[in-house]
Structure 1
Amino acid sequence: MQAPGISRSRIILMAIAAGVCVANIYYNQPLLKAMATTFHTDEKHIGLSAVLTQVGYGFGLFFLVPLGDKINKKKLILFLQGCLIVLLTGIALSPNLYMLYTCCALLGLLGVAAQVILPMAAGIDPANRGRNLGIVFTGILTGVLLARVFSGFIAQWLSWRYVYGISAVMVSGVALITKYTFPDAPPAFQGTYGSLLQSTAYQLKRFSMLQRAALLGALVFGLFCSFWTTLTFHLSSAPFQYKPDTIGLFGLLAAGGALLAPVFGKLADKKSPALSQACSLGLIIASVVAMKLFPYSAGSLAIAIVVLDIGVQATLVTNATSIYTLDAASHSRINTVYMTIYFMGGAAGTFTGLQCWQAGGWQTVTWQLIIWSVLALVLVIGGIVKQRRLALTSS
């Protein structure tokens, strides 16, 4: 691997590549109605394409991301990007629903390049690990947030097929960036693939810090997914009654918050991550309380979204920074454990948010958001108390 001190511009290129790759997982969510029309099917059947993408992504996280510890990360990323180009082209040209299903499932499975880039960034320059992770996280989170805006806009003016065709071109571009600018990252694990997977599961038992970080990530990402899933219903209902393109603009507010992720990454390099997390969770709680108190004020909601997103990004960046202080030779496996539990939290948050919306609308949704955030704060405070007790005992 390249010596420590990689330039900021190269880290930014890694962030762009990660964002472009991860966005492909989320493009189909605003397109389902248009896709259903194309294939002459109903929402239930076309919705299976989104489910297959998410399921495939979960399998990719567990079965492919750990390979970053066994084979050269740069070569693995290039392979995954090459597969993405083929699958995106396949979706754009799908003649029937079954071809779409197949390509979406494989897209999820092989769309995990961003999760290989993340541990690569963590291991390049340990002295600036938080800064580098913050920049790459900005790329990933911006890709997630803007994917829906981009796909909705392209589909409205052209066709949903163009979304995937254009994305194939963009992935081709970042593949060239990967080939010519990414550092080589030789593998550290010498065992078999089976022992690699076994070792991946062992990391959770091995590190108590990873257990806490994964649970915190699940709680915060669960809150995040619950909010964005139900916000669409809230904004499309009275008194707002916004159209999809207007609702998509709220994603731009969140993307603005994501740009502050590198700032929190730098703070994580210099100060206690736990204290930073406690402060950022305070921002999350304050934003959710504001949403509850002023549910029908567009201005208040916009400000609360920015504050919420800043709090979420800050928490997740400092959280990720802490797990990459663990065994450097196991970064990909540690990331696999963390991200698998993280996305399980997101799935649970989405499900809970939908149930709360159906049960009691926005007020019930905001109550469960408060519960998610308070549980996360209790977990962080518990970690701080435990650290101080250990410090007193050792002294």
Structure 2
Amino acid sequence: LGILLARTAAGFMAELGGWRSIYVLAAMLMAITALALYRSLPQHHSHAGLKYPALIGSVFRLFKDEPVLRLRSLLGLLAFSLFALFWTPLAFLLAKEPYHYSDAVIGLFGLAGAAGALSANWAGRLADRGKGSLGTTVGLVALLLSWVPLGFAEHSLAALLVGVLVLDLAVQLVHVSNQNAVIALRPEARTRLNAGYITCYFIGGALGSLLGTQLFERQGWMGIVVAGLLIGALALALWALAERKRKRGLPACAA
């Protein structure tokens, strides 16, 4: 929600005080947050029996030892790259014809994405009932299909809104299912497991943003859509292959 609603806040700030005002506000809020955390966080020390470099190195060993972590981190990377692939160039699309929207109006689309993000609760309930694999499958299929209405986004606001809702819902389904599977691997190492997964997740976001800006400049919106379909198909194919191995009793990367 923070990632999406920040777009709405940034749109209004850019409209009122220019784009630099966003960074001034962000710096002020970060300073206030740091002070509040310093004053309120309890003193809690937990020692894993390792020095810090060895502790970081153990995260890489977890990737080596846990095929589920490798698969889920890759799926998370691909899913969040699709999220960024869409949201990064969306402002460019909405600023040009036929929309010609202002920064404030463009920011409002973050509200539509936030509605889809609320599906995290549903995804968590599926995982709690032992249906994390189903949540992953539904999420990856929806992630791929979301690019069908988004293919008409240049000319249809309704198609764009449908695509936004489905895309964000799908990303949350995949993400929550991934985290549930990863953290369950080794309860005593869940913070390191989560650190490894989240690092891959945001690498995907950075790559998606980079790809989105480059593609939009060179190929326009349809270049974004084609890339989204290809990446979505790749993620679904990787998951289908892992599920087939699991059902055949082979060393699997699924959970």
Give structure 1 stretches of 5+ with no counterpart: 1-141
- Residue 171 of structure 1, CA deviation: 5.2
Contact (CA 8 Å) 1:218, 1:341: kept in 2 or not?
A: yes
Q: 1:163, 1:367 → 2: CA distance?
A: 34
Supply the AA of the counterpart residue of 2:87: W
Shift in Å, 1:331? 1.7
Asked whether the equivalents of residues 72 and 197 of structure 2 are also in contact (C-alpha less than 8 Å), the reply is yes
Instruction: Name the CA distance, whole Å, in 2 between partners of 1:307 and 1:379.
Output: 21
Residue type of the alignment partner of 1:236: A
Aligned partner of 2:211 among 330, 339, 352: 352
Letter aligned with residue 221 of structure 1: F
Matched, 1:209 2:68: yes
The equivalent of 1:386 in structure 2 is: 245
Corresponding residue for residue 116 of structure 2: 257
User: Following TM superposition, by how much is the alpha carbon of 1:205 offset from its aligned partner in structure 2, in angstroms?
Assistant: 0.1
- Give me the whole-angstrom Cα distance separating, in 1, the residues matched to 2:45 and 2:217: 50
- Asked if structure 2 preserves the Cα contact closer than 8 Å seen for 1:154 and 1:163, the reply is no
- Partner of residue 164, structure 1: 27
Shift of 1:358: 2.1
Q: State the partner residue of 2:8.
A: 149
Q: Does 1:296 align with 2:159?
A: no
CA distance in 1, matches of 2:55, 2:29: 36
Whether the 8 Å contact between 1:274 and 1:380 is mirrored in structure 2 is no
Deviation at 1:173, TM superposition (A): 4.9
Q: Secondary structure of 2:146's match?
A: helix
RMSD: 2.2
TM-score, structure 1 normalization: 0.58
1:199 aligned onto 2:199: no
Identity, % of aligned pairs?
A: 32
**Local SS of the residue matching 2:249:** helix
Q: Offset of 1:170 from its aligned partner?
A: 4.9
Matched residue, 1:331 = 190
| 2:87 maps to 1:228 | yes
Partner of 2:253: none
Matched-pair contact (CA < 8 Å) for 1:229–1:350: yes
Letter in 2 for 1:147: A
Indicate yes or no: 2:145 matched with 1:282. no
Q: Deviations over 1:131-171 (max 9, x none)?
A: xxxxxxxxxxx111122322342454464424432453355
Q: CA deviation at 1:225?
A: 0.7
> What is the aligned length?
246
- Determine which structure has greater relative contact order: mean sequence separation of CA pairs < 8 Å that are 6+ residues apart, divided by chain length: 2
TM-score by length of 2: 0.88
Q: Hey, what's the Cα distance between the residues in 1 that align with 2:201 and 2:29? A: 29
The alpha-carbon deviation at position 295 of structure 1 amounts to: 3.2
Match of 1:243 among 73, 82, 102: 102
2:130 is matched with 271
User: 1:241-288, CA deviations, whole angstroms, 9 ceiling, x for partnerless residues?
Assistant: 111111110011111211220221111111332221111122222221
Deviations 1:22-55 (A, max 9, x none): xxxxxxxxxxxxxxxxxxxxxxxxxxxxxxxxxx
Assess if the C-alpha contact under 8 Å between 2:11 and 2:105 holds in 1: no
- Bigger CA drift: 229-238 or 146-155? 146-155
Distance 1:294 1:195, change over 3 A: closer
